[in-house]
Amino acid sequence: MNLFEIKNLKKHYEVKKGFFAKPTIIKAVNDISFNVKKGEIHSIVGESGCGKSTTAKLLMTIEKPTEGEIFFQGKDITKFTPEELKEYRKKVQIIFQDPYSSLNPRWKVGKVIAEPLLLNTDLSTKEIKEKVYAIMKKVGLNDEWYDRYPHQFSGGQRQRIGIARALILNPEVIICDEPVSALDVSIQAQVLNLLLDLQEEFNLTYVFISHDLGVVEHISDIITVMYFGDIVESNDVDSIFANPQHDYTKKLLSAIPVINF
Ligand code: ADP
Ligand code: MG
């Protein structure tokens, strides 16, 4: 079953370089179509500036498409009523590259993770606390860290806080926008393994964005390759690696560092 059906999606920005200058059009997302099946890890790969985060923002309804449709469970999210949008935003969560800039530095970890519950549910303080402790445990954060501030954590731990926050409303989908790109290589593997475990346990669907094919090789079901706002290739992970069709995909593959042990 397709959870997402994305059809001819475009996001163009008009940018003016100076007051009298003619605006130029930046085709951040030019014209892309792809489907995401329920329960799959669908990676979107391409170099910086190719439109990956813009695609994420369109799926998150942070940005409005210039043209095109995004069907979620058969309904076009661009035509949602405010009520439907509220429900949708509970089901589709996001994890960012830089957890620090997305976490409120003045809030303790417990409150950071609890915020989606405070905004979206009528649960009591006690119930919220229980849920936060339970999810902290799932992502590998100790109980006693509940009262600490984000700056007291390492990058990997902060990403765990971001993951806990994304999970707390029991979403169907998590959009992961370069979730391990800012982390040391040794920590990257830990966070990727955590994401895989959580996907299995909660039957999640991931749209997983990365500029690095090496990062997504071991986690993806499907890889969609973007290049200057367009999709050049989309296929199952084995086919992408064994038999890349597009020159740009071949270039990305050759850029994966070979590690000699
Ligand atoms: P990626 O995440 O793949 O690095 P982005 O989706 O962030 O790429 O950006 C795609 C292109 O769109 C880039 O050229 C970027 O500069 C441009 N862009 C993104 N957001 C805006 C915006 N709000 N206004 C103008 N241009 C933008
Ligand atoms: Mg980006």
Q: In whole angstroms, what is the distance from residue 217 CA to residue 223 CA?
A: 9
Closest approach atom of ligand 1 to CA 47: 3
Q: How far is the CA of 53 from the centre of ligand 2 (A)?
A: 4
C-alpha separations of 37 from 29, 202, 220 in Å = 21, 15, 12
Q: Quick one: which ligand is closest to 15's CA?
A: 1
Quickly count: other Cβ atoms within 10 Å of residue 87's Cβ.
12
Give, for all 261 residues of the chain, the pLDDT tens digit: 899 999 999 999 999 888 888 889 999 999 999 999 999 999 999 999 999 999 999 999 999 999 999 999 999 999 999 999 999 999 999 999 877 777 888 999 999 999 999 999 999 999 999 999 999 999 999 999 999 999 899 999 999 999 999 999 999 999 999 999 999 988 999 999 999 999 999 999 999 999 999 999 999 999 999 999 999 999 999 999 999 999 999 999 998 876 555
Closest approach atom of ligand 1 to CA 48: 4
According to DSSP, the β-strands at 205-210 and 41-45 are: parallel
C-alpha separations of 128 from 46, 90, 117, 201 in Å = 39, 16, 7, 21
Q: In whole angstroms, what is the distance from residue 146 CA to residue 10 CA?
A: 42
